[in-house]
Structure 1
Amino acid sequence: MDGDLRSLIDMAEAAHDERMIKGALKTFANACGFERFAYLQTEGLEIRTFNSYPEEWQGVYLESQYSRIDPVVTEAKRRMEMFSWTADDWPARGTSELRRFRDQAIDHGIRSGVTIPVEGSFGSTMMLTFASSAQTADVSKLQDAQKAIRAVLAIHYRLKIIAAATIVAPKRLLSPREAMCLMWAAKGKSAPETAMLTGINPRTVQHYLDKAREKLEAATVAQLVAIAKDHGLV
């Protein structure tokens, strides 16, 4: 799991659009046995979210302003450390509105999970949640709290950079794995060296680089890196 967290951090820093970050988070969540992820930033009553929850649930959550009573958000702000949770604990702690929130969350496949909160600037809080429809989530694979915090920060700052960056033409978009291998190539690493650093098979690393060359119309890896730098991808 240490390698998976490292890979998530690398892919987040290599991402040049939100789609790539979503892909990296989805890959990590699935590797840990979770079905959904949610990045949430709160500042006062204002919230910004980036998640893979069902669109219907996203609409209900925002329209009902559930961030006010969401036990995960409340606990994250109070504890400011990684913790696991289960919706089965919520009804006994609140009002009928909270019980309705709990029932709706379960109906949309959000019943348990783990959340990593990080204190941001100007009174804001960032948190990354991995959720499961199971009654109790298996959090045994997510134990490195320091690396988990680094992952949240990497995603937070990459999202800010992406928001200010020029959008690349769709045909030139790279997958999270292609971008990660490109980042290592830009640092002078060969395919075998990248394989050792990422845990990916060397031939698979070469495949990702070849696909990236095809998308950016580069004849060599050196040209690939140069084009990527020109377009602000690395």
Structure 2
Amino acid sequence: MSVNGNLRSLIDMLEAAQDGPMIKSALRSFAHSCGYERFAYLQKDGTQVRTFNSYPGPWESIYLGSDYFNIDPVLAEAKRRRDVFFWTADAWPARGSSPLRRFRDEAIGHGIRCGVTIPVEGSYGSAMMLTFASPERNVDISGLLDAKKAVQVVMAVHYQLKILAAKMAISPKRMLSPRELMCVMWATRGKNTPDTAKLTGITPRTVQHHLDNAREKLDAKTVPQLVAIAKDRGLV
């Protein structure tokens, strides 16, 4: 399949993605099909930076902890242009002890030597970009990518991550009370209502009341579904 055929397939896979791992799997598959090892989606809104990537964990911590987004040559280039572009760390300063030199060496050390970036202008002055990176010296598909489809991919990632964030968000009104959470915790351990009543010292009727409240708050129709949702959202 051609690069643009893979791009079309990626858009379809992103549309069908139901969670973060599925989004990552789709992006990773496209990256590998084009000769890249990793991907990175980045959204910059003022001084706030959000990332979703397959880069090594230590590199993400170094990048954000050192505020490298202020000197990153890829971000600087993305600000100047709105089309797909190729970049290589070999073009960045290789001598001296400047922060940019340190950035270059650390990027290469973590397997990020060249890549292709798709920048997109967001709303209210925000910026989004999707990068596919390789540890090799020259893997350039920028001239093969259909510009409109490339932008579609970035927007698909953007909206799928927004949907994912909305699914994971829980407003204060929908948070479980301590008693509700306690009953759900015992339910995740396979305890039924009478068992939980004996373990907690409250009546079975009260246990059921707390579970019913928890189901209503988390939009669960059954206790097993309640348990699954609570686990998925990291509540237990």
Where on the TM-score scale, by shorter chain, does this alignment land: which range? 0.5 to 0.7
Residues 1:109 and 1:166: Cα distance change in structure 2 (over 3 Å): closer
Q: CA RMSD in A?
A: 1.9
1:48-197 maps to which residues of 2 (within 5 A)?
48-91=50-93, 96-139=98-141, 142-165=144-167
Query: In the alignment, which residue of structure 2 is the partner of 1:25?
Result: 27
How far did residue 10 of structure 1 move? 0.8
Between the aligned partners of 2:71 and 2:60, the Cα distance in structure 1 is 15
Structure exhibiting the larger radius of gyration computed from Cα positions: 2
Output one character per residue of 1:60-108: Cα deviation in whole Å (capped at 9) or x when no partner: 0010010000000111111121100000111169971000000000000
Output one character per residue of 1:89-141: Cα deviation in whole Å (capped at 9) or x when no partner: 11169971000000000000000000000000010000000000011123167
The residue type equivalent to 1:150 in the other structure is Q
Query: In the alignment, which residue of structure 1 is the partner of 2:14?
Result: 12
Output one character per residue of 1:14-33: Cα deviation in whole Å (capped at 9) or x when no partner: 11111100000000000000
Query: In the alignment, which residue of structure 2 is the partner of 1:229?
Result: none
TM-score (norm 2): 0.67
Between the aligned partners of 1:26 and 1:94, the Cα distance in structure 2 is 35
TM superposition outliers: structure 1 runs of 4+ over 3 Å:
92-95
For structure 1, the residue ranges without an aligned partner over 5 or more in a row are 168-234
TM-score (norm 1): 0.68
How far did residue 142 of structure 1 move? 3.9
The residue type equivalent to 2:107 in the other structure is A
For structure 2, the residue ranges without an aligned partner over 5 or more in a row are 170-236
Between the aligned partners of 1:94 and 1:51, the Cα distance in structure 2 is 30
| Relative contact order higher in (CA < 8 Å, ≥ 6 apart) | 1
Of residues 91-100 and 158-167 in structure 1, the stretch that sits farther from structure 2 once superposed is 91-100
Residues 1:166 and 1:112: Cα distance change in structure 2 (over 3 Å): closer
The residue type equivalent to 2:89 in the other structure is A
